[in-house]
Amino acid sequence: MFTELSKLSFKGTFGREYVWQTAKKPNCLLAGTILGSQVLRVRLLRSSRLDNTRYQLADGGAGTLPYHSWIVAKGDEQWHETGQLEEAIVRSILEPYLQGWAIAPDALRLTRPLASEERVFGLGERTGTMNKRGQAFPIWNIDPHKGHGPRTVTMYTSIPFYLGLTLNDGRAHGVLLDHTGRVDVDMGNSNGSAASMTVQGDSLIAYFFTGPTPADVLKQYTELTGRMPMPPRWSMGHHQCRWSYLSQKQIHQIATRMRERNHPCDAIWLDIDYTDEYRNFTWNTSTFPDPEQMISELHAQGMHLVTIIDPGTKIDKHYAVYQQGIEHDYFCRFQNGELFTGTVWPGACVFPDYSQSRVRDWWGNLYQPLLQQGVDAMWNDMNEPAVTNLLVHDEPTAETKTNTMSDDVLHQAGREQPTGIDGPPTLHKFYHNAYGMEMARATYEGLLHLRPDSRPFVLTRSGTAGVQRYAALWTGDNTSQWADILMAMPMCMNIGMSGVAFVGVDIGGFWGASNGELLVRFAQLGALMPFCRNHNAMGNPDQEPWSFGEPFESAYRSAIETRYRLMPYLYTLFHEAASSGAPIMRPLYYHYPQDEQAGGVEDAFLVGESLLSAPIYEQGATSRSVYLPAGIWFDYWTGDEYPGGGWNTFTAPLERWPLFIRANSILPSGPVMQFVDQYPTEPLTLTCHMATDGLATYTLYEDDGNSLAYQQGASARTDISCRVLKDFVTVEIEEHFDNYRPSREEYEVIVHTGGRTLQKKVQAGQGKMVIRL
């Protein structure tokens, strides 16, 4: 039974916090504060005393919070002061957020009103409709049953953050619970006009982001939880994976085939079978006798190699990683001190306790031999953590907790030093959703430490709010079926709206047999998703780009070539995500928040502001209907113009899918390459799609694509504008190359307007250019 907190009396200010207490039992406190000007925090404590133990911030020494957090990346001190607001004003800003808090003997709940027009987005990786209003589900990471689908209640990565959007006025706001245990979310399911989030324990911490646009909410949310650092450019290319390529010889064949058959590809991935009986950080030396040689050959072909590492560590007293972990007490234990064990690929395993920085440091350093051999990046899987002897085979229920670590494992975190950087020891039940993220963090920080001059690239399956600081995410084990192309779109858009911009799905589908048509349509979906990797489970027919012959092979190639042409545009979007938290793959409402129809579109997405991609997701379909928001749109393939503000049917022969360019936009592109850094982008083509009497502006972002020098400002910006006024067409280019000089001879400027195409080439490097066409 929950008791609503009422009759709060103001107790005073403590540091930055304004504290209220309940007048009668149970005694609780609500402490609120304003961070920056658009972020508020309120925490409910089941206590009559303010817990003012001040731990250091999870991500390092800089900054402190009034408690320990895995999710939050920024200490209170790092928010610039909002000025000296008078106490009465701060109290009046916070007071509306003091309503809706309730307490039960072992749980705490926050309930927020849902406006009649409000839709609910975000909430991490979830199947089903994009708008979560009317649904109830747990926030609890699991490895779902094989063949997850719309009814699956929870997946590998859950994020206790939602964005509410009222479509009638286009206003957005956000709510985050800073909680890594289970959160029971009810978005207007039991009470149509209220959203509630319930946690167990003695403290409930919520952040509120005031918007008012979806972009503002993302900016505010990622200012708190962190943003994706720029990944290496090659990670934005097309990747080829398989469970599993089984030998060095096979890797060589796949890479060579990619090149011979002109399928652009930047990386080949090694799944679990490269190891010695699934022992992490080892090789099966009979099938991979000379990894260094294999990798140097790949590098010579412009390919990278990514290897998988799972947390499950084989119990084997002759295995060095196990020995070290036992010797130094690095593995997870129950409260009574017993080791937690579970079965994964290697058989019986123990699991590193990534809550401790000493364990993360150890794990991070274990990557050294792989890096020395030339491996470029890491893939962390099964890190919910999944324990396969407990895998769920039935449709999981809302109660599903089964196939993972036990609730009563005690993560040691700061151990004897709870006020140190790791915080106090925590039961798995309160830490669970952070396990995968902290594994990815150990990997990311390890790679950064071992190769301080290169940008790490880590792919993770599990994570929670803040995982974007360490890794990209893919949506796990989908199925080779049409429904999964459709399912991918709302899922990945919501992940992007939960702060994780670098996201993708297994192209071709993981479980089951793909076929030529399905593979092509999957590739057309993946071609413009942030992460673009073909992956397939063991035992299925092959699904590499050439596997089904013509016309499928050519259609696959041409989808991926489109991605490579647009790489300058995508790269700039990655930078935007890294600097402002904006998703790369965006729901239509992101740019059209007041458009009711756009708000309901789940089967198409924007790539940045200028491209709208509407993949085909029905067998045999050669056309589909697409909603184009207000304005004029150009067909990417034909250049035909269409008025927006309604639905239209567009043709989509196998080698194409409906793809549109917003009028009054500038799209940078380059020639097709076989890997992203094959040549400098030469010429850089700037295609302006213009309405008559229109103005377009764009800033292209470039840097060296691999080092961290961009963080010191080593980047180039090129401002471009295009103005069309009756018959006068002017393009201006202004280069800002002081800190980084892209190697470029020429710009090719193309302007489409009023049925005409104008074109001119201009020499690069002149600083500022005014071009009349």
Which C-beta is closer to ligand GLC: that of 514 or that of 674? 514
For ligand GLC, the binding residues in 38-77 under the rule CB under 6 A are: none
157: DSSP letter: B
Query: Considering beta carbons, is residue 144 or 423 the nearer one to ligand GLC?
Result: 144
- Shortest distance in whole angstroms from residue 535 CB to ligand GLC: 6
Residue among 505 and 659 whose Cβ is closer to ligand GLC: 505
278 binds ligand GLC, rule: CB under 6 A: no
Return the DSSP state at 229: P
Sign of the alpha-carbon dihedral angle for 616, 619, 622, 625: negative
Between 42 and 377, name the residue whose CB sits nearer to ligand GLC: 377
Per CB under 6 A, the list member of 476, 530, 599, 615 interacting with ligand GLC is: 476
| 508, 536 Cβ separation under 8 angstroms | yes
Phi/psi-derived region of residue 698, left when phi > 0, alpha when psi is between -120 and 50, beta in every other case? beta
465 within 8 A of 386, measured Cβ to Cβ: no
Joined together, the tokens standing for residue 465 give 């709010």
With CB under 6 A as the rule, give the number of residues binding ligand GLC: 9
Q: Who's near 212: CB < 8 A, 6+ residues apart? A: 171, 172, 173
| 509 Rama sector, left if φ>0, alpha if ψ -120 to 50, beta otherwise | left
Binding status of residue 512 toward ligand GLC by CB under 6 A: no
The single residue of 76, 216, 353, 384 carrying the catalytic annotation is 384
Q: Which of 272, 584, 676, 749 binds ligand GLC (CB under 6 A)?
A: 272
Q: How far is the CB of 496 from ligand GLC (least distance, A)?
A: 20
Q: Are 507 and 514 in contact (CB under 8 A)?
A: no
- CB of 635 closer than 8 Å to CB of 650: yes
Give me the catalytic one of 178, 186, 353, 477: 477
- Closer by beta carbon to ligand GLC, 511 or else 633: 511
Q: Is 500 in the site for ligand GLC (CB under 6 A)?
A: no
How far apart are CB 272 and ligand GLC at their closest, in Å? 4
3-state secondary structure of 98: helix
In the complex, minimum distance from the CB of residue 254 to ligand GLC, in angstroms, rounded to a whole number: 16
381 catalytic residue (yes or no): yes
Q: What is the DSSP code string of 482-545?
A: HHHHHHHHHHHHHHHTTT--SEE-EET-SBS---HHHHHHHHHHHTTSSSEEE---TTSPP-ST
- What sign for the dihedral angle of Cα 131, 436, 74, 570? negative
Q: Is 125 in the site for ligand GLC (CB under 6 A)?
A: no
Query: Is 693 annotated as catalytic?
Result: no
Q: How far is the CB of 387 from ligand GLC (least distance, A)?
A: 13
Instruction: Work out how close the CB of 273 gets to ligand GLC at its nearest, in angstroms, rounded to a whole number.
Output: 8
Alpha-carbon separation of residue 314 from 343, 402, 428 (angstroms): 9, 21, 21
Positions in 233-262 near ligand GLC (CB under 6 A): 243
- Site track for ligand GLC across 443-472, x = CB under 6 A: ------------------x-----------
Q: How far apart are CA 651 and CA 633, in angstroms?
A: 15
Terminal alpha carbon distance of the chain: 72
User: Is residue 488 a contact residue for ligand GLC (CB under 6 A)?
Assistant: no
In whole angstroms, give the CA distance from residue 658 to residue 11: 60
Q: Which is nearer to ligand GLC, 541 or 646 (CB)?
A: 541
Scan residues 305-334 and list those touching ligand GLC (CB under 6 A). 308
Question: For residues 513 and 497, what is the distance between their CA atoms, to the nearest angstrom?
Answer: 31
Closest by alpha carbon to 238, among 304, 290, 291? 304
- In the complex, what is the shortest distance from the CB of residue 301 to ligand GLC, in angstroms, rounded to a whole number? 24
Among 118, 223, 271, 595, binds ligand GLC (CB under 6 A): 271
Q: Are 265 and 615 in contact (CB under 8 A)?
A: no
CA angle at residue 19 from 17 to 20, to 5 degrees? 160
Tell whether residue 702 is a contact of ligand GLC (CB under 6 A): no
Tell me how far apart the alpha carbons of residues 682 and 703 are, in angstroms, rounded to a whole number. Answer: 15
Choose the catalytic residue: 118, 273, 381, 561: 381
Q: Is 316 a catalytic residue?
A: no
When CB distances to ligand GLC are compared, the closest residue is: 243
| Closest CB to ligand GLC among residues 272, 666 | 272
Each residue 532-551 as x (binds ligand GLC by CB under 6 A) or -, in order, gives ---x----------------
Q: Which residues between 372 and 401 bind ligand GLC (CB under 6 A)? A: 381
Q: To the nearest whole angstrom, how small is the minimum distance from the Cβ of residue 753 to ligand GLC? A: 46
Shortest distance, position 373 Cβ to ligand GLC, whole Å: 20
* Active-site annotation, residues: 381, 384, 477
Binding residues for ligand GLC (CB under 6 A): 243, 271-272, 308, 381, 461, 476-477, 535
